[in-house]
Amino acid sequence: MMYDGILRDYQVYTPPAYDSAVPSPLVINYHGVNSNAFEQRYYSIFDQVAADSNFIVVYPNGVNQAWNSGLVTQSTADDVGFTSALIDKLSTDYNINARRVYATGMSNGGFMSYRLGCELSNKIAAIASVTGALAEDIVTACQPNRPVPVMQIHGTADQIVVYNGFPNFHRGAEGSVNFWINRNNCNTVADTTVIPNINLTDLSTAQRFFYGPCDGGTEVELYKITNGGHTWPDGSIDIPVNGNTNRDFNASRVVWEFFSRHSLPFNTNTEEIEAPAFEFSLSPNPFSDQLFITTDHQEPLQVVITDVLGKTIANEMTIDGRLTMNMSELSTGVYFVTLSSDQQQFTRKIVKQ
């Protein structure tokens, strides 16, 4: 496509179950500096996740193999405007759910995701940065028109985008997360989970820090990889020169699990967005043994409960707008309930006590 006098290109993956009659979520996946769409597609293995969960992924190419993310790079292109135009173009070529468009990326692509969270929050529902950070020179202008859900995945031994930040250049992993915790008015005490160390040869371990609830039902998450390098966890290949690649969790899958819980609020855009197809309630919350789900949608709805790592705990269907679930054997902690119809899905957090 032509944008701002420059011929821009991109790769699109459509899952086997894509149905042009059903609005599809869209994930925009940005490559790192000196990389390209093909390499990011191969490295992140996001197509596999999209095939399993039925969403579209687009891998755009940056000008001069870089993104104008706010941090000094080889590119001065208007990549925020390009992204907006790309979403519009894809929405004419495919049936895109306008409330479920997301941005993620590696390194410079992660920086770009942060810029979109700041400057394109009317179109981007949530962002996730892998080894990127929030650039200092866009902080002052970072005035999103709503709270933005944010995920950060970063290794403490990253020698390219250092974990603790670089003065006057970027905030680092925790500094970037703290910016959004404050911006979104989140609970500042993290719900911490130790990721099981299932791979003893990757020379790294991981923890997940969950900050929520935040304004507007948003969340902020940090995956801290101790001794992890400038790499994509569970990527298709190891890159020894960039440090250790963690194999205890799959970054692409946890990014999608995070994205799948969020959508733009209604009437975020000036364009009219379809009204919700159904509403539902969960009670009690917190709960101990039984969870009661009621909805005004009389047709069966799929109900999926996942834990904080995205593992499916239960998968059932409502009957006549109701479902009673026996959760007495479930461990205490935070879980997510997602109700889905053919056209829409909504997710809410629940607490087992």
pLDDT of residue 101: 98
What confidence tens digit (pLDDT) does each residue in 247-297 have? 999 999 999 999 999 999 876 654 444 455 677 888 888 888 899 998 888
The fraction of the chain above a pLDDT of 70, given in percent, is 95
pLDDT score at 270: 40
Is the CB of residue 308 less than 8 Å from the CB of residue 334? yes
Pick 197 or 340 by higher pLDDT: 197
| CATH for 280-352, options being 3.30.750.24, 1.10.3720.10, 3.90.1150.10, 2.60.40.3080 | 2.60.40.3080
pLDDT digits (tens, 9 = 90+) for 111-164: 999 999 999 999 999 999 999 999 999 999 999 989 999 999 999 999 999 999
Cβ contact 280:300 at 8 Å: no
The residue count of the chain comes to: 353
- Percent of the chain exceeding pLDDT 90 equals 75
Please report the pLDDT score of residue 277 as a whole number: 66
Residue 43 has pLDDT above 70, yes or no: yes
pLDDT of residue 125: 97
Q: What pLDDT score was predicted for residue 58?
A: 98
pLDDT tens-digit map of 48-62: 999 999 999 999 999
Whether 236 and 43 have beta carbons less than 8 Å apart is answered as: yes
Q: In a 3-state reduction of DSSP, which class is residue 307?
A: strand
The answer to whether domain 2-259 has CATH 3.40.50.1820 is yes
Bridge partners (DSSP) of residue 27 are: 57, 102
- In terms of Cα–Cα distance, which of 169, 105, 157, 166 is closest to 132? 105
User: Which pLDDT value is given to residue 272?
Assistant: 42
Residue 273 is predicted with a pLDDT of 44
Element holding 236 (H helix, E strand): none
Residue 268 has a pLDDT of 60
What pLDDT is stored for residue 278 in this prediction? 75
The pLDDT tens digits of the residues spanning 92-105 come to 999 999 999 999 99
pLDDT tens-digit series, residues 80-89: 999 999 999 9
pLDDT, average across residues 160-169: 96
Pick the range with the lowest mean pLDDT from 148-152, 221-225, 278-282, 341-345.
341-345
For the segment 315-341, the average pLDDT, to the nearest whole number, is 88
Q: What's the pLDDT at 350?
A: 86
Show me where the domains of the chain are located.
2-259, 280-352
The answer to whether the 2-259 and 280-352 domains have the same CATH topology is no
pTM: 0.82
Q: Is-contact 35 65, C-beta < 8 A? A: yes
Secondary structure string (H, E, C) spanning 240-287: HHHCCCCCCCCHHHHHHHHHCCCCCCCCCCCCCCCCCCCCEEEECCCE
